[in-house]
Amino acid sequence: MGIKILTEHINVPGIETLEMYRKHGGYRSVEKALKTMTPDEVVEEVKTSGLRGRGGAGFPAGMKWSFLAKPEGVPRYLVCNADESEPGTFKDRVFMEKNPHALIEGMITSSYALGANTSYIYIRGELLFVLRILEKAIAEAYAAGLLGKNILGSGYDLDLHVAPGGGAYICGEETALLESLEGKRGNPRNKPPFPAVKGLFQSPTVVNNVETIASVPWIVNNTGAEYAKIGIGRSTGTKLISASGNINRPGVYEIDLGVPVEEFIYSDEYCGGIWKGKQLKAVVPGGSSVPILPAELILKTAAGEQRLMTYESLSDGGFVSGSMLGSGAFIVFDEDQCIVRNTWNYARFYHHESCGQCSPCREGTGWMERVLHRIEHGHGHQQDIDLLVSVAKQIEGNTICPLGDAAAWPVASAIRHFREEFEWHIKHPQEATAPGAVYRGQLAAATV
Amino acid sequence: MAKITFDGIEVEVEDGTTILQAARKIGGDVVPPAMCFYTPLKGSGGKCRVCLVKVTQGSARDPRPMPKLVASCITPVQDGMVVENTTNEDVLNARKGIVEMLLINHPLDCPICDQAGECDLQNLSYEHGVSATRYEEPRRTFDKIDLGPYIQLHMTRCILCYRCVYTADQITDKRVHGVLGRGDAAEIGTYIENVIDNDFSGNVIDVCPVGALTDKTWRFKNRVWFTKPLNAHRDCPTCSGKVTLWSRGDQVLRVTARKDEYAEVEEFICNTCRFDKKEVSDWTIEGPRNIDRGSVISANHYELPVINVPIVPNLPKSTVKKMPTE
């Protein structure tokens, strides 16, 4: 078991209070950064660390920070994206719920690095109880002089606010989040201009995931070079993985990037193997929006190499035989799970969550859902499979924001890897719609 | 100034111009269609995605191609940019796909729609769509909504271009309608059956690219291609008073703003001009209006008749009719 950067003290009783948090070394990075480092030095450390955005895209955080425009006389903002709402992800919620001060510490240090005097945590509306926990922690930090005017006598001012969303998945997209934070309808903006130039209230803004921001204090305390030693290649550091599905031990795990996928699924330290000793059928390694992979491709790449839990290894093979690490929502399917039903379920989610601004996504997500619904309920036609592939292709890449891609990829990949199962559903509607019916042909073929 | 190559044609435009505007400077068949972008409305564009083009060279400084198709209406030009529209198969296929998406929930009720004949969606699907549909599910429908005495909203036909929202935001004091709901359940509405009541509310009818917002004083009076467009003006205290009258015989059936070849209004007009002044005596007629948009209203109206074709050879000169030339 590797080093724990984010979850070391997460289970300490009372860690949500400032007193306990400080007892375990909390807010050291604030003191170190504000008293001994310049903002640029903090940015440099984060750059050296190779920390990558943990929200899904995996863009290097230090580089994102250095893109921030710094015109004179214009305020800058740091916004923490805590609108975690993709099916399968629950890492940020657990983290904020248990250890709110760790996020606040990250927010102070990061805001200092970016020169932001007002920062926001945009939290998913459904997580109202987490919002209360955060607000309590923020009040404690204000009382201790860690927030507000002249923090720890350094002359640096910071106000931190928590804003809840209204429960829309699309508000996790950074520009939609900013619109929502400004009090408007959560529609993604056209890019360019990017938030680094014109973001919140038309000012330069950085939007980072909870986990990204929470990793910054450790980097400041222990230097970026130390952080870069963890992990493999360009995937440095540790990552929270929300493991769910048919496994023995679902939950949030902090792993060093580079753990083999096989070990992650079967080791007792992590998922503990497939539930009831069943056979592994498929895995969605990074949240519902990334391509699904069948058992043989998740354990080994198409070239026969062992697949590791890193950004590079999971996307090895592109979309033909690879997937993505995404936000780290590891969803495991055993042999009794129906891929068609699951794909329909995902399509239903994206249909419901599309903002309706641009036409391919607005119309296409609904179309895919209806066709999948038809196939699942035994009314599909043979040409529906090609229709789905074609509709997914029409959406992909042609939309304003990545929600279109996120809706298209699961459908396209499920058909790519499980086409026989779709065909079986269409050819044998009566068998396929019987309760609990699952296509097993592919598993038989894989074991032979 | 920036020099770009659009479909192999070089054009020089001001910095900050969008690709679409540069293409419009060239004009003709290479111009990408646009359903949501509207030059007079700030912030419009980027939503319908029919104007997607391929940028094969980003700029002279950074010649890398852009990875995805970009919306030409919102992407500014860079010096040395190379753009492909009608010459790129991917662009045409993507556009076909998007037209299909726009049509799957559209009722296709052109025979009973007032916009037929001057409808941007109709033109778009003729030019870029496919003739068959692959969509067999029930289409989305809405009840008609009354937006006061002048405007009828029929959401079933709406393509959610947001133009009417921007219009109300930018040329009227108070916007009472907006987009409610999300995804394909999104709709234009006033939330609690409000009435759009201000001097310039009628302009939402002009900017609507489809038959979703229609003029109640004109609905079902006539087909647009039976009417004759005339340029006219009057001394109006609220607006410029420059309009197009759509008349049949000596009856003025409809008044609209003057629109250019991309269906964009030249000047917004007020409700008094649009809805109340329907007598020829209210107006000073300037002459016929040439509609040079690709729709049936312009068909056969403006070309000079083919004359003086010597069908019978060697006719005496006196038979040659003198016709005005262009």
pLDDT of residue B315: 62
Assigned domain for A5 exists: no
Same domain, A185 and A258: no
**Is B97 in Cβ contact with A360 (below 8 Å)?**
yes
Same domain, A215 and A262: no
Is B70 in the A-facing interface, judged by CB distances under 8 Å? no
pLDDT of residue A403: 93
Same domain, A269 and A205: no
How far apart CA B264 and CA B267 sit, in angstroms, is: 9
Q: What is the CATH number of the domain that holds A391?
A: 1.20.1440.230
How far apart CA A83 and CA A92 sit, in angstroms, is: 9
How far apart CA A319 and CA A339 sit, in angstroms, is: 18
Contact residues, chain B, for A358 at CB < 8 Å: 46-49
Closest approach of chain B CAs to the CA of A56, in angstroms? 19
Same domain, A259 and A380: no
Closest approach of chain B CAs to the CA of A324, in angstroms? 19
Structural domain including A216 reads 18-222
What pLDDT, in 10s, does the model give residues A47-70? Answer: 999 999 998 888 999 999 999 988
Q: What is the CATH number of the domain that holds A114?
A: 3.40.50.11540
pLDDT of residue A448: 40
Is B161 in the A-facing interface, judged by CB distances under 8 Å? no
Same domain, A47 and A193: yes
pLDDT band at A393 (very low <50, low <70, confident <90, very high): very high
Q: Residues 246-285, chain B: which have Cβ within 8 Å of A?
A: none
**Is A358 in Cβ contact with B47 (below 8 Å)?**
yes
Q: Which of A187, A363, A372, A375 is the best mutation test for B, with the most CBs of B within 10 A?
A: A363
Domain final residue, candidates A160, A192, A222: A222
Average pLDDT over residues A188-196: 90
Assigned domain for A353 exists: yes
Domain final residue, candidates A176, A192, A222: A222
Same domain, A68 and A160: yes
What pLDDT, in 10s, does the model give residues A84-98? Answer: 999 999 999 999 999
Contact residues, chain B, for A370 at CB < 8 Å: 137
Assigned domain for A3 exists: no
**Is A358 in Cβ contact with B49 (below 8 Å)?**
yes
Contact residues, chain A, for B71 at CB < 8 Å: 190
How far apart CA B212 and CA B102 sit, in angstroms, is: 14
Assigned domain for A1 exists: no
Check pLDDT > 60 for residue B304. no
pTM, entire model? 0.90
Check pLDDT > 70 for residue B320. no
Same domain, A329 and A400: no
Set out the domains of chain B in order of their start, with CATH numbers: 2-97 (3.10.20.740), 113-118+138-215 (3.30.70.20), 224-298 (no CATH)
Check pLDDT > 70 for residue B316. no
- Average pLDDT of chain B, as a whole number: 87
Nearest residue of A to residue B73 by CA position?
A190
**Residues found in chain A:** 448
**Is B68 in Cβ contact with A358 (below 8 Å)?**
no
Same domain, A117 and A33: yes
Is B228 in the A-facing interface, judged by CB distances under 8 Å? no
pLDDT of residue B172: 87
Assigned domain for A227 exists: no
Q: What is the ipTM of this complex?
A: 0.86
Closest approach of chain B CAs to the CA of A28, in angstroms? 43
Q: What is the CATH number of the domain that holds A252?
A: 3.10.20.600
Closest approach of chain B CAs to the CA of A193, in angstroms? 10
**Is A397 in Cβ contact with B47 (below 8 Å)?**
no
Contact residues, chain A, for B50 at CB < 8 Å: 359
Assigned domain for A370 exists: yes
Is B130 in the A-facing interface, judged by CB distances under 8 Å? no
Average pLDDT over residues A107-133: 94
Contact residues, chain A, for B97 at CB < 8 Å: 360, 390, 393-394, 398
pLDDT band at A447 (very low <50, low <70, confident <90, very high): very low
Assigned domain for A12 exists: no
Is B134 in the A-facing interface, judged by CB distances under 8 Å? yes
Is B94 in the A-facing interface, judged by CB distances under 8 Å? yes
Q: Which of B98, B137, B183 sits opposite A360 (nearest CB)?
A: B98
**Is A365 in Cβ contact with B184 (below 8 Å)?**
yes
Check pLDDT > 60 for residue A309. yes
Contact residues, chain A, for B185 at CB < 8 Å: 356
Nearest residue of A to residue B134 by CA position?
A387
Closest approach of chain B CAs to the CA of A51, in angstroms? 25
Contact residues, chain B, for A354 at CB < 8 Å: 182-184
- Average pLDDT of chain A, as a whole number: 91
Check pLDDT > 70 for residue B244. yes
Q: Which of B102, B104, B179 sits opposite A185 (nearest CB)?
A: B179
Check pLDDT > 50 for residue B105. yes
pLDDT of residue A115: 92
Nearest residue of B to residue A371 by CA position?
B137
Q: Which of A190, A352, A393 sits opposite B183 (nearest CB)?
A: A352
Same domain, A321 and A246: yes
How many domains are contained in chain A?
A: 3
> Chains A and B: how many Cβ contacts under 8 Å?
91
How far apart CA B163 and CA B205 sit, in angstroms, is: 10
Nearest residue of B to residue A168 by CA position?
B182
pLDDT of residue A370: 95
What pLDDT, in 10s, does the model give residues B258-270? Answer: 998 888 999 999 9
pLDDT band at B192 (very low <50, low <70, confident <90, very high): confident
What pLDDT, in 10s, does the model give residues A208-230? Answer: 999 999 999 999 999 999 999 99
Assigned domain for A4 exists: no
pLDDT of residue B28: 84
Residue A340: Cβ within 10 Å count:
22
Nearest residue of A to residue B135 by CA position?
A367
Residue A256: phi and psi, rounded to 5, are -75, 130
Best-predicted range by mean pLDDT among A344-348, B119-123, B172-176? A344-348
Same domain, A151 and A248: no
Nearest residue of B to residue A380 by CA position?
B136
Same domain, A281 and A305: yes
Same domain, A298 and A345: no
pLDDT of residue B310: 55
Check pLDDT > 50 for residue A1. yes
Nearest residue of B to residue A350 by CA position?
B183
**Is B104 in Cβ contact with A359 (below 8 Å)?**
no
Domain final residue, candidates A196, A222, A248: A222
What pLDDT, in 10s, does the model give residues A327-381? Answer: 999 999 999 999 999 999 999 999 999 999 999 999 999 999 999 999 999 999 9
**Is A351 in Cβ contact with B104 (below 8 Å)?**
no
